[in-house]
Amino acid sequence: MNITVAVDCMGGDYGPRVTVPAVVDYLHRNPGIDIILVGLPEVIESELRAVKVAPRSRLRVHAASEVVGMDESPALALRGKKNSSMRVALNLVKSGDAQACISAGNTGALIAASRFVLKTLPGIDRPALAVVLPTIKGHTYVLDLGANVDCSAEHLLQFAVMGATLVSTVDNKEKPSIGLLNIGEEEIKGNEVVKQAAELLRGSGLNFYGNIEGNDIYKGTTDVVVCDGFVGNVALKTSEGVAQMLSTYLREEFRRNLLTKFAGLIALPVINAFKRRVDHRRYNGASLLGLRGIVIKSHGSADSHAFGFAIARAVDEVRGGMLRHISERVAQLPHPGKNPDKYSPPLTEESPA
């Protein structure tokens, strides 16, 4: 079966200038995938003409007349922009015309629209954002990254199930290990929610490693790191900050004088290999997990190389059958959610999350 994904072409800091070339490049490299380009047709067509060799047989343009601004209120966007590129792309997933949606648009608006259009899977109360991060050993998946600022222990358990399923599906690992992000390894550490979550995880049948600390993320101590969205977002942005500072320092030291500049010239291939290794573009594409459809959030500032990784992630999740696996795993929990068959809380356009 051919896989079809819907791309919100208007989202992100650069819109179609980045998304359209990324799609065309992806199609050239990946046979067996069809892509629906969603957005303002004239703008998309103009970008398609610019790339020239577009594989027209495997892509089509689907019109959406509105665009959600990067700083727009998610609630207002949900109420007011029913024909936005992001919303229309999600509708294509809901109708079955596409199996996944990729957007680099406004994160809050994408989450709100995804919940409203697709609803959550049985047993899942809230969707969560998961990213893959590099580690000393390889990589790890961290969730939630900001979709949920206040979480209960049950939510953290659901995040663990979704994270484990993501790793099984994408990395083909049978029993991924789960770490609970805390401020110490001992069971007595942390706040009440984290302590309760540890209790639930111990009885969940998941491969629960136990509490881990911030430095364990990059040590690669576990395959999955579970935390609430506030903590996860701070940890991710702090990591970016450290990396930026260290690379600034390194550059400054190499530029200090003629001698260090010469050393920099000699070391250039090594520095470039190092840079390629930590290139964050390779990790672009956060999975919005727990919905009745696959949704990938690309970084707003992604270039077309990075956006291609977000498309690839969506396709991997479709191929692996992730939605079915999440449902199966949630159903296997010894203590499933209070209403394992309920949809997400009634979310209307008049009272969005």
Among residues 243, 331, 332, 335, the one that binds a copy of itself under rule CB under 8 A:
243
Produce one character per residue of 249-282: b if its CB has 16 or more CB atoms within 10 Å, e if not. eeeeebeeeeeeeeebeeeeeeeeeeeeeeeebe
Residue 107, C-beta contacts closer than 8 angstroms, at least 6 positions apart: 129, 146, 297, 300
* Tokens found for residue 31: 């046979």
Instruction: From 44-52, 169-177, 184-192, 345-353, give the range in contact with a copy of itself by CB under 8 A.
Output: 184-192
Nearer to a copy of itself, 107 or 120 (CB): 107
**Residue numbers 152-171 binding a copy of itself by CB under 8 A:** none
Does 227 participate in binding a copy of itself (rule CB under 8 A)?
yes
Nearer to a copy of itself, 97 or 240 (CB): 240
Q: What separation, in Å, do the N-terminal and C-terminal C-alpha atoms of the chain show?
A: 36
| List of E strands, the chain | 3-8, 33-39, 59-63, 100-103, 128-134, 139-143, 177-181, 207-212, 224-226, 286-289, 294-297
Instruction: From 112-120, 241-249, 280-288, 295-303, give the range in contact with a copy of itself by CB under 8 A.
Output: 241-249
Nearer to a copy of itself, 43 or 271 (CB): 271
Does 50 participate in binding a copy of itself (rule CB under 8 A)?
no
Residue whose entry in the numeric block shows the structure tokens 């007595």: 188
* DSSP secondary structure letter of residue 31: T
Residue 277 to residues 7, 48, 138, 257, 332, Cα–Cα distance (Å): 28, 32, 11, 27, 38
Helix/strand/coil for 298:
coil
Nearer to a copy of itself, 128 or 312 (CB): 128
Instruction: From 25-33, 200-208, 240-248, 307-315, give the range in contact with a copy of itself by CB under 8 A.
Output: 240-248
Instruction: From 10-18, 40-48, 134-142, 318-326, give the range in contact with a copy of itself by CB under 8 A.
Output: 134-142
Residue whose entry in the numeric block shows the structure tokens 């949809």: 343
Among residues 218, 303, 337, 343, the one that binds a copy of itself under rule CB under 8 A:
218
Q: How far apart are CA 80 and CA 180, in angstroms?
A: 39
Among residues 16, 39, 134, 352, the one that binds a copy of itself under rule CB under 8 A:
134
Among residues 8, 47, 72, 216, the one that binds a copy of itself under rule CB under 8 A:
216
The CB-of-13 to a copy of itself minimum distance in angstroms stands at 16
Please provide the DSSP assignment of 72-107 as one string.
S-HHHHHHH-TTBHHHHHHHHHHTTS-SEEEE-S-H
Nearer to a copy of itself, 277 or 338 (CB): 277
Please provide the DSSP assignment of 184-210 as one string.
SSSTT-S-HHHHHHHHHHHTSSSEEEE
The CB-of-218 to a copy of itself minimum distance in angstroms stands at 4
Q: How far apart are CA 29 and CA 37, in angstroms?
A: 17
Does 150 participate in binding a copy of itself (rule CB under 8 A)?
yes
Does 122 participate in binding a copy of itself (rule CB under 8 A)?
no
User: What is the per-residue binding string for a copy of itself in 265-304, x denoting contact by CB under 8 A?
Assistant: -xx-xxx-xx--xx--------------------------
C-alpha closest to that of 289 among 178, 147, 151, 157: 147
Nearer to a copy of itself, 50 or 250 (CB): 250
The site for a copy of itself (CB under 8 A) is made up of 71, 73, 134-136, 146, 149-150, 181, 183, 186, 188, 190-192, 213-219, 227, 229-231, 233-246, 248-250, 253-254, 256, 259-260, 262-264, 266-267, 269-271, 273-274, 277-278
